Amino acid sequence: MQLDDAVRGRRSIRTYRPQPVPDDLIDSLIDLARHAPSSMNGQPWTFTVVRDAALKRRLADIKNQYCPAEKRAFRADFMIDAAALVVIAVDRAASHDRAVENGVLAAATFMLAAHAHGLGTVYMSAFRDDEPAVADAVRQLLGMPAHVLPISILPLGYPDEVPPAKAIRPLREVVFHERFGQR
């Protein structure tokens, strides 16, 4: 798949076929995610692959427990049906004060790679500035040390849905030249 096709075709997938994803394929996706940019090339990422049903259930419970009020209609229970969850975390010291950005860049790269290989995923935040208990709960559940900050949880599996194309704002609404508002 060409990069343009992967970027334009990727969708958030929340329904998965009951089919395992081979370890070597997940490793290949993680290898690609390691090529994401990071602040000062700190490469602070860690990737924890969770297949255990009880751990997936507990991670979904954590997401549901700390879900902001405006998103409560979007429960995380679907995560248990994914073949695996990939938790991306970063070492704070190697992040050079850019922990969230570093983690999100790795997650975006992983998501595009997954789509290019026929897999689906959706971005689930494991870090919120306004609710540090989310990351703390994920960290404790997965036995991560205090200097490691969970950033995202990516459910991964073979899609069992085909979401519609997304509506994209026109370029003229988002591109300015020299100064904001100038076209």
Specify the pLDDT at position 35. Answer: 97
Specify the pLDDT at position 181. Answer: 87
- The answer to whether position 156 is within a domain reads yes
Q: How many domains does the chain have?
A: 1
- The answer to whether position 107 is within a domain reads yes
**Backbone region of residue 143 per phi and psi (left: phi > 0; alpha: psi in -120 to 50; beta: other values):** left
DSSP 163: P
- The answer to whether position 12 is within a domain reads yes
User: How would you class 99 by CB atoms within 10 Å of its CB: exposed for 0-12, middle for 13-18, buried for 19 or more?
Assistant: buried
How much is the pTM?
A: 0.94
- The answer to whether position 34 is within a domain reads yes
CATH number of the domain where residue 151 is located: 3.40.109.10
Tens-place pLDDT, residues 120-175? 999 999 999 888 999 999 999 999 999 999 999 999 999 999 999 899 999 999 99
Tens-place pLDDT, residues 59-101? 999 999 999 889 888 899 999 999 999 999 999 999 999 999 9
pLDDT of 32 strictly over 90: yes
- The answer to whether position 11 is within a domain reads yes
Q: Which domain holds residue 108?
A: 3-174
- Residues 122, 76 contacting (CB under 8 angstroms): no
DSSP 121: E
- The answer to whether position 118 is within a domain reads yes
Specify the pLDDT at position 69. Answer: 87
